[in-house]
Structure formats: C-alpha cells, structure tokens
Structure 1
Amino acid sequence: MSKRKGLSVEEKKKKMLEIFHESLDFYQLKELEKIAPKQKGVIAQSVKDVIQSLVDDGLVDTDKIGTSVYYWSYPSKTRKSKERLLEQKKNQLQECKKKLKATSDAVEKAKIGREENEQRRCILKELSEGKSILEELRAEMRKYQGKDPKTMKLLKEQTQIAMDAANRWIDNIFILKHWCVNRFNIEEEKLNKEFGIDPDLDYIK
C-alpha cells in the first residue's frame, strides 16, 4: 500500500488560512502547532515556516503582546491582498506596454533615412573586394618567403597599399556609423544588424 502524499507548500498555506478564517480568532504559534495537525493535516514541524510565509505574503497579521506573539487573519484581509496584487500586476502590464510601444516607435523612426541605397552597397562591395585582394597578396607572399628580395619588397608594398585602402573604407564605415548613431539616436548594435555590418569589424593589421 502506497504512502499518503504530503501536502504541498501552497496547500499548507491554504489549510492554515482556513483555521483563521473559520474561527476568526487569535492564536499563538504553540496553539497552531497543536491545531493544524488535527484539523487540517499540516504537520506541526512545518507550521512555523508556513505561518511566517503567510506573514511575509501579507495574508496573516502578527503582533507581540507582552512576551507572547499572536497571529490572526480575516477573509477580507486575503481578498484585499489579492486585489492589491492584481492592481499591481495590471500597472506593471501597462508600463510594459508603454515601454514596448516607445521602443517600437524609436526603431521605426531610426529606420527613416537609412534604407538600402547604392552608396551603402558600393562601400560594402569595395570593402569586400579590398579584403579579397589583401588575402590574395598575403597568400602570394607566403609562397615567396625566403626567395627574391625584390619580389618580396614589391609584394609587401602591394600588400600595404591594399591594407591601407581596406582600412580607409573601414574608417569610412566607422564615420558613417558614428554619424547615424548620433543623428538618429539608435544603438550601434541595432545599426549593425540593420545594415548587415559585422559587429567585430576592425582595422586590418
């Protein structure tokens, strides 16, 4: 025969509230530890933690009179707490909706004037071509390592020219990005994504 499954935390909290709401009385912890197992099946060892949790949730009131601590709760207390929580969640939802709309409006505004255009395509194309040429020259240099000094010098000069050209285009991209960020108040990350710019783009060394 299987053992009876114990109550969950939420079930224990519900049972403890029933003690207060059914009796409409005040209790000390020791009294609750005796009543809860008999009336509601809540083990005495867990009563203290459950009561404290209900106090933290604002569902049970407590006060110290002399050296004794008393606990109480009325049905209206629970209802008002739930109504306050519901109102709080509604306000949070409204704030989230406002922030979402403001963000959407900002994104749409930032897109104005940054549509796909020929200038952008040309810059990216020339940058890509410059990188390709640079890689070809570097591959050629590796083939001639330790050979004709004149050829090596020429290849180094051509490589430097290609590198300088590529870096100029990279510099142009950085300048345009900086202008767009300041002009349209958009985050750099969104700008990179919108125009297909590699976020790790950097000068070639």
Structure 2
Amino acid sequence: MVSYFQKSRVAHSIKDLEKSLPSVASINGMLLKDYLQSLQDENRINVEKIGSGNWYWSFHSQEQKVRQKALDEAQAAHDKASATNDELKSKLQDAQTHRDGEEDMLDDAGERREDVLALKAQLEKDIQALARDLATYGDSDPTELERKAEALSQFKTDAVLYTDEIYSMEGWFTNQGIDGEGLAGLRTKLYGDELDAEEGVLKEYE
C-alpha cells in the first residue's frame, strides 16, 4: 500500500483511495480507514486536512527516516552492550585473579583454610554468574554496524531523489489551487527544522 502512494507522487483524497486501493492492495474496502490509520501511526504516510477533507501521501524519504531512527537505536543498543561487555570482562578477570590469589593462600595459611575455601566457593559462583552475563552480550557484532553504516551512506545518496519528489508534490498542491500562504504554512508544518525560513525551501546539506 505504501508503495502505491510513493509511486504516484501525489496526494490522494479518501474518495480516490476508496476507489483504487481495494483492488491495488487487495484489501477489504470496509477496512481501508483502519489500514490508513495504522500506516499513519507508524509514520509511513502523511495525512493533512486541506479544505473540507483529508489528503494522504507518502515519500520514499519517509521510510528512510524510519530506518534512520532504527539505525540510531541499534547504534545506541550496541554501544550500551559493548560497554557492559567490557565491564563484565573486567569483573571476570578481577574475580579470577582474586580466586587464584586465595588458592595460593591455602598453602601458606592452613589455620584459615575453612574461611578461604568458603570465599573460593563464593568467587567461583560469582565467576559463573559473570560468565553467563558476558555470554548474553556476546552477540554484539561490529560487522552488523558496518553494514548499517553502508546502508546509511546509500540513504544519503537517495536524498537527492527524494528532494525532487518533495518539490514535485509542492507543484501538485499548487496546481490544485493551494495559494502561496497556504503552501508556506504547509511547508512549515511538514518540514519543521528542515525548512530554510529565509528561502522558504528545504535546507541544503553537504
């Protein structure tokens, strides 16, 4: 369904969608509004009340933003896992060093043998627990981050194409009779921080 919006590169009224989408997307027309609401909740399509009705559209760049958010979350999760991984390794090494030191004491302090054995048993339990925790974070794979970085590079390359689509959509709204003031308000609402306030167009990035 999203691909239908993106390929059309125009906004659609609910009446247009009720006629076209059931056959294009093989969905029950009675459930169309539920599907549209679900896509809107997932930020995969835009909806704006213009005039007396709602208009729906979607750019390829919309999905890229969703993917970028997922990439940022994955990066944050990886950083947290890596930090935990390093911390667990350090604790495991300290515990093993401590245990080895206590084993040496067994030969030199026989009168403290029971206390040392009890401490040794506790340390072994701690080491086992740390090892289990370490295994939990052992799946953090740097190669996966490298793959995602390459995907991000491709997203930036695609940005030029998506900008053209945005301006194409603006032209379509103009042809539908949206005046300059109305279009300016729509830009401010949709583009947010991406809008160059002085020029009234999307900001350019290197």
Place the TM-score, normalised by the shorter chain, in its bin. 0.3 to 0.5
Higher helix share: 2
Specify which structure has the bigger relative contact order, considering alpha-carbon pairs within 8 angstroms and separated by 6 or more residues.
2
TM-score (norm 1): 0.47
Q: Which has the larger radius of gyration?
A: 1
